[in-house]
Structure 1
Amino acid sequence: MPKHDKIPRPQIGTFHRHELAVLGTPCGKIEQLASALVQALPELKTVYADADHQAGDNDRTAAMQAGSWGIFSDKISFTRLDFTGQLTDFQKKVLLLDADWVLVNGNHFEAAAQIAVIDPAKPLEKKLHKLTNVQLLLKSSDAVAIPDYLSAHLEGRSVPVLAWQDTAAIAQWVKGYLASRRAPLYGLVLTGGKSERMGQDKAQLNYHGKPQQQHTADLLAQHCERVFISCRFEQMAAVPVGYEGLPDTFTDLGPLSGILSAFRQYPDAAWLVLACDLPLMQAATLAQLVNERNPLKMATTFQSPHDNFPEPLVTIWEPKAYPILLQFLSMGYQCPRKALINNDIKLLQPVFPEHLANANTPEEAAAVLQALHKQTEQIT
């Protein structure tokens, strides 16, 4: 069989992009820590991953033995699905996408990062191979010391140390850890449309002394580590020198083509997406979006002043949005707004709603030019 080109693979662990396995202490104490952190971090959607030491669930056994593959239950305060199969590693990641982070019982499962507990009741000397990325040390009591074998294993790395009993300090550390893992912010100028209503390429219109695609990219560059101009392959030649083009690898999907193509190339980045047909957009509105970004949500976006729905083309899409958008596409939905409406997002009210006005027709473009001309006259 011919070899396929490799595409970048997102950095997702066993369960989630943000996961921490606790090991070095008995399972009961790990469960106690998980319970305490859930109470101390009510603003976070925490998942605790553990193995049930009981062989079965008596209230479900009869139905399962009768041949049912699964039982879906709306429990009013939560939803439950019991089924006879085993979740694959891929299904786990999809199922837990909406969580903010996963705390893992490291006695049963591995995770991409670890919290190591110094507890004489369960020494770590024979589990050093599981300590691949230790982020925090917890001392079970003031009397215990960090063993020499663990110090040697850490190879001089400076790892914070907290007391096992200090739940508040551990919770504060978790919040800081999640904040430190915020995805880098890249900018994406959407120019791949065919501009049929405008009658000419909207990306090349000049409202501000330069083509609109360059003006939009320059606005994004004030907030983003890198900025790309998203376009169809045949438009790549029109990307000006000094700007990076990103051609569509998903085609004929409207704006979703550019968003998915960007995630395909850089799946671990967050994307500040801005359409090129927003000539009144200004830096203040982008600053509001960036300053109020919540990287644990699927997206941070504005409520459109025109129809009150989320505005997908002035949005920060976080890495967790990539598989969600692909799922919507697999079900026949190519409108990114549909994904925003049906997922956990941060929805902002724009301070300057006029900045979100579209210009898709010659009449709208003329009105924008007239408004900009009046602004210039007022300033001068």
Structure 2
Amino acid sequence: MRSGLSGTARAAGIVLAGGRSSRMGTSKADLDWFGTPLLARMVGLVGRAVDGPVVVVRAPGQGLPPLPAGTEVVDDPVEGRGPLQGIATGLDAVTGRAGAAFVTATDLPLLHPAYVRRVLALLDEHTDVVVPQAHGHPQPLAAAYRVALAPLVTSLVDDGVRRPPDLFSRCRVTRPDEAVLLADTALARADAELDSLRNINTPDELAAVRARPAPRVVVAEGPPVAARTLGDATTLLAARHGSAARIVLAGAVGVTDPATPLVPGDVLAVRVTPGPAGVVAGHAASRRA
């Protein structure tokens, strides 16, 4: 995808994993999301919306669950300096490889790639940060940042600044509300309630979000299926089309990871191509949907 930055600017993803999770009582990164660690799910969701690197920023020495192939992991230089240091570390890690970065935390399991794309598209040449103002709050950890801010953010952290609002007073910020975000028809169709911003801080909040049904995913060759990952959908569709079928995520190029998260609005196609001597070959889809 392309961000609102001009030319061929690429967009990276930054997922902050170093929070203390005090109200949850355990590391959010390791929380189970139907067989997938929550951090791995977040990486997969962000990765579907950007064409640059996806970087996880962790606390020094923090253990992490298994992550999707290609995920980069960087350490904050000092523990306990808050999210602004994580943003600085992430922006520095993608400097020279992307013009924009979508920054998020580990605790937004309903984040939709359409939301990520919409926020990045609002980051134009007149803006340094896009901070949505939605659900009654600013959303600095579901926001887009110009990568060129890295030196400024690092300097502020070195001076003892900890909070993202202290950065915003020093750069050009756009604060789209719900109406502006949902003016994008793709996002309005996929996430009209902006559940992308529904974060989880307690076990009860996690249970409430987990109680939601799996996304209903359109299948071009038949009735829809309810599936949370590409692997789930492949298992369900094997009963219809046989084990040789390969499931393609529309709009993706080369995604094969069965843990790839599916979201409302996804379209799957079934590919069964006879090869030499009866061998069946299938297409794969990319994790960059």
Q: TM-score, normalised by structure 1?
A: 0.47
Q: CA deviation at 1:295?
A: 4.5
Partners of 1:255 and 1:209 in 2: how far apart?
28
Does the aligned pair in 1 maintain the 2:102–2:145 contact within 8 Å? yes
Does the aligned pair in 1 maintain the 2:110–2:198 contact within 8 Å? yes
Does the aligned pair in 1 maintain the 2:74–2:90 contact within 8 Å? yes
Say if 2:203 is the partner of 1:373: no
Equivalent position to 1:277, from 103, 107, 112: 107
**Which residue in the other structure is 1:247 paired with?**
75
Please list every run of 5 or more consecutive structure 2 residues that lacks an aligned counterpart in the other structure. 183-192, 217-223, 227-289
Partners of 1:340 and 1:300 in 2: how far apart?
10
Question: Letter of the aligned partner of 1:218 in structure 2?
Answer: G
User: Where in structure 2 are the equivalents of 1:1-380 lying within 5 Å?
Assistant: 179-180=6-7, 183-224=9-50, 225-236=52-63, 238-240=65-67, 242=69, 243-268=71-96, 269=98, 270-307=100-137, 309=138, 311-349=139-177, 350-351=181-182, 352-370=193-211, 372-373=212-213
Does the aligned pair in 1 maintain the 2:130–2:174 contact within 8 Å? yes
Give the 3-state SS of the residue equivalent to 2:54 in structure 1: strand
The percent identity for this pair of structures is 25
Give the 3-state SS of the residue equivalent to 1:333 in structure 2: coil
Bigger radius of gyration among the two: 1
Does the aligned pair in 2 maintain the 1:229–1:239 contact within 8 Å? no
The number of aligned residues is 198
Instruction: Considering Cα pairs closer than 8 Å and 6+ residues apart, tell me whether 1 or 2 has the greater RCO.
Output: 2
Task: Report Cα offsets for 1:158-193 as digits up to 9, x if no partner.
Answer: xxxxxxxxxxxxxxxxxxxx823x643211111111
When residues 334 and 257 of structure 1 are mapped into structure 2, their CA distance, relative to the original with a 3 A threshold, is same
When residues 293 and 366 of structure 1 are mapped into structure 2, their CA distance, relative to the original with a 3 A threshold, is same
When residues 219 and 299 of structure 1 are mapped into structure 2, their CA distance, relative to the original with a 3 A threshold, is same
Give the 3-state SS of the residue equivalent to 1:262 in structure 2: helix
Task: Report Cα offsets for 1:256-281 as digits up to 9, x if no partner.
Answer: 23211123333333321111111121
Partners of 1:191 and 1:296 in 2: how far apart?
30
Q: CA deviation at 1:375?
A: 6.3
Partners of 2:147 and 2:208 in 1: how far apart?
37
When residues 241 and 183 of structure 1 are mapped into structure 2, their CA distance, relative to the original with a 3 A threshold, is closer
Give the 3-state SS of the residue equivalent to 2:141 in structure 1: strand
Partners of 1:284 and 1:223 in 2: how far apart?
7
Give the 3-state SS of the residue equivalent to 2:204 in structure 1: helix
Task: Report Cα offsets for 1:294-319 as digits up to 9, x if no partner.
Answer: 14421123113233x3x111111112
Partners of 2:95 and 2:203 in 1: how far apart?
36
